Amino acid sequence: MGLYDSYQKEVLEASLWLLKHGYFGSLRGTGGNVSARIAGHDGMAITPSSVKYSDLTPADICIVDFTGAVVEGKYAPSIEAGMHAAIYRERPDVNAVVHTHQLYGSIFAALGRPIPVLFDEVAFALGESVEVAPYALSGSPELAANVAKTLVNRANACIIQNHGILALGKNMDKALLAAELLEKIAHIYCLALSTGKPVTLLPDATREMARSLRDYDVEQARKKS
């Protein structure tokens, strides 16, 4: 078994799950990307660019370092590899990143509007708010910088203006859960706004508790890095 086999398998399985459940926006497209940090290395396993997920094998998942250099793989890595690397550098608590074009999350990307998390379970998993990273061209250093700057809030998700969403986790399962919870809260918030009635927010004390838990996780990860 090779050094990267488990990471490649994990990334492919997550990609196929997201594809099956409609998180990439199209069953035929290649939109979105998934990565996993390689423990003990400044590198990651990441989906390749412009190859249908349904056509991939684990060996097709690219291994790249955080400068973007390809370590292993026959395909070019996702054009968003720089954005994933920027997240891993900024957030030592994050070991998996999911970038999707899921429907309700993308509504708020089009609106350029943050999503308040509204429920306890979402606050503790994602943070006290899902903020918006300013638009920049896909794959550009500007987009990577905008995302990294937004995620200093230590949340486990953010919206990319006029683009899509990002979900993060200390492992792949947590990153997928973050994507699910973001879609849930985006759907509920969209419907709540459509009523024209005020949307109630979580109490300040609960939001502060969620912030404190996220701060603790990040600081513990920094100490270990």
Beta strands in 12-136 (DSSP E): 33-37, 43-46, 62-65, 70-72, 96-100, 115-116, 129-133
Is it the case that residue 2 has pLDDT exceeding 90? Answer: no
Top pLDDT among 224 and 151 is at 151
Q: 159 φ, ψ to 5°? A: -100, 140
pLDDT of residue 70: 94
The two structure tokens encoding residue 184: 């849930």
Alpha helices (runs of H) in 112-171, residue ranges in sequence order: 120-126, 141-150
Range from 31-45, 108-122, 138-152, 197-211 carrying the lowest mean pLDDT: 197-211
Tally the residues of the chain. Answer: 225
Is it the case that residue 108 has pLDDT exceeding 70? Answer: yes
pLDDT of residue 220: 86
Q: What is the pLDDT of residues 9-25, one digit of tens each?
A: 999 999 999 999 999 97
pLDDT of residue 162: 97
Query: What CA–CA distance (Å, rounded) separates 219 from 50?
Result: 37
Q: What is the pLDDT of residues 130-173, one digit of tens each?
A: 999 999 999 999 999 999 999 999 999 999 999 999 999 999 99
Alpha helices (runs of H) in the chain, residue ranges in sequence order: 5-20, 81-90, 103-111, 120-126, 141-150, 172-194, 204-224
pLDDT of residue 211: 83
To the nearest whole percent, how much of the chain has pLDDT over 90? 80
Q: Which of 46-55, 106-115, 213-222 has the highest mean pLDDT?
A: 106-115
Q: What is the pLDDT of residues 174-202, one digit of tens each?
A: 999 999 999 999 999 999 999 999 999 99
- Residues identified as active-site: 80
pLDDT of residue 50: 86
The confidence band for 29, taking pLDDT boundaries of 50, 70 and 90, is low
Q: What is the pLDDT of residues 66-96, one digit of tens each?
A: 999 999 989 999 999 999 999 999 999 999 9
Is it the case that residue 30 has pLDDT exceeding 80? Answer: no
Is it the case that residue 101 has pLDDT exceeding 90? Answer: yes
Query: What is the reported pTM?
Result: 0.94
> What CATH number does the domain located at 5-224 have?
3.40.225.10
